Amino acid sequence: MTTIETTLDEIASRLLQADRVLFITGAGVSADSGLPTYRGVSGLYNGEHTEDGLAIEDALSGEVFARRPDITWKYLAQIEETCRGAQPNAAHLAIAELERYLSRVTVFTQNVDGLHRQAGSSEVIEIHGNLQKLVCTGCDFSESVDDLSGHQLPPLCPACGSVLRPRIVLFGEALPEAAMDHFLAALDEGFDMVFTIGTSGVFPYIAEPVAWAAQSGIPTVEINPLQTRLSPLVDYHLPLGAARAMTAIMTRLRAARA
């Protein structure tokens, strides 16, 4: 019977032979930084509806933002406040450290918390954007903010008075073309190993690259305390939190390289 320790040994051995690695990350990679996963264990929005009587997916949709930006901003501000002051955890730092050993480490993340960049990863594709970048809905004004404390909600553009929005993808909106082009180009160039960390894989653009890698014989690893729709597809499933798993993998990798 395969144990977690054996699985960790095998993953580290595979990683030792790799040169180009892709990490696909979701909210679970930031759980050890104190951030909720929004659904599932310790989720911020586990209830069926928000206090405004809307599902969180509707409250954070482009359609509701167009009609009632105050509602959307109410929940964006809650998420931003939850993220405020968070620091990269051992998983973020381990992924960044791998750049010392590998020729390419690409991070494709659903997260809008900016922690991968803060940890030092150089190639981060933030497919859902970043909460700290605000853009005007009426003109070309944009700004970067450390946090939203002190901002009126919804924030208004100092140039034209229109509502500002974060440069993130709201539910029902198209993914950013430039970010997807970057990701597809990276996939075309190829990877030796693919990790998925802390994501349920419900979106096709998350699940399909993992399925493609598995079908192509590329070693695939899922790090998630829960079973997901990706679990049957991957070579290795680690039922651990991101920080614990990546710490254990890196300990083995450093020892092997010493």
Q: Which residues are catalytic?
A: 128
> Angle CA(142)–CA(121)–CA(230) in degrees, nearest 5?
100
How many CB atoms neighbour CB 251 within 10 A?
A: 13
Determine the Cα–Cα distance for residues 155 and 161; give it in Å rounded to an integer. 9
Of the candidates 157, 143, 161, 134, the residue with the CA atom closest to the CA atom of residue 80? 134
Determine the Cα–Cα distance for residues 187 and 239; give it in Å rounded to an integer. 26
**How would you label 34-47 residue by residue, b for 16+ Cβ within 10 Å and e otherwise?**
ebbbbebeeebbee
Of the candidates 24, 52, 27, 58, the residue with the CA atom closest to the CA atom of residue 41? 27
Residue with tokens 């899922």: 222
Beta strands in the chain (DSSP E): 20-25, 104-109, 124-126, 129-136, 142-144, 164-168, 193-197, 220-223, 236-238
Determine the Cα–Cα distance for residues 103 and 134; give it in Å rounded to an integer. 33
Residue 92 · residue 119 · CB < 8 Å: yes
Tokens for 69, please give them.
């930006």
